[in-house]
Amino acid sequence: MTLQDAIYNELLSALTSGEIPPGESITVKQVADRYDVSPMPVREALGKLEAKGLIEVSKNRRMTVNQLSLENLRQIVEICMMLESYAAEKAGKNRSEESLQELEATMVLYTNVTDQDKHSKLIGINEKFHQLIYQEAHLPLLTEIIGMLWERARPYLAIDFRNSTNLDLDRLIEIHQGMLDGLREKKPKKVKEWLKIDITNAAERISRQIG
């Protein structure tokens, strides 16, 4: 991993977790000082973040973390609904026994989460569960595109999971158990329908918080 990649990953994590909040201004010098590096790899990392739509660079070169908006969320949800539904349906036909075991192990992690550590645990568990499903579509390009969408969605998901009072953990488990049951039974439409419920519920929760 190059220095540029390391800085990019650190910044991406800070942006998508909310550590660097939407609307905050950032400079090359601030980031270089933060990680004790030269400006060059920082500029390259920030350029990648701009290309992914996570930061905005104005004409005077002022860099700002993009504000979350209902319109942007709507677009992300609409595209995710199409692509992830297709991937989930394909996974329902193609899934292997090995992937099913991995998903079942991840499902156990869901059920072991307590109210006290919802935010710290659920983001990672949720992403791993979904990634395991989409990989079973056996369409690497589609999986890559979905991964890019998730990068755009992570700041929104951070808001969702950070507000532990807003999450019904039992319902979240029920929904993901529904996806898992569909995969186990090799019922593609069942996997797809539970996934749609998951995306819709998350979008509604997030919309209430940023609307």
70-210 matches 3-65 in CATH topology: no
Domain ranges of the chain: 3-65, 70-210
Report the distance separating Cα 6 and Cα 48, nearest Å.
Answer: 12
CATH 1.10.150.120 fits 3-65, yes or no: no
Report the distance separating Cα 65 and Cα 124, nearest Å.
Answer: 22
CB 159 within 8 A of CB 68: yes
Instruction: Supply the pTM of this predicted model.
Output: 0.81
CB-count burial class (<10 Å; 0-12, 13-18, 19+) for 161:
buried
Residue-level pLDDT, tens digit, the chain, 211 residues = 788 888 888 888 888 777 888 888 888 888 889 889 998 998 898 888 888 778 887 766 778 888 888 998 999 999 999 999 999 999 999 999 999 999 999 999 988 877 666 666 788 899 999 999 999 999 999 999 999 899 888 888 888 877 656 678 889 999 999 999 999 999 999 999 999 999 999 999 999 888 6
- Closest C-alpha among 175, 191, 172, 186 to residue 134: 191
Report the distance separating Cα 150 and Cα 35, nearest Å.
Answer: 25
CB 183 within 8 A of CB 95: yes
The topology under which CATH files domain 70-210 is: Four Helix Bundle (Hemerythrin (Met), subunit A) (1.20.120)
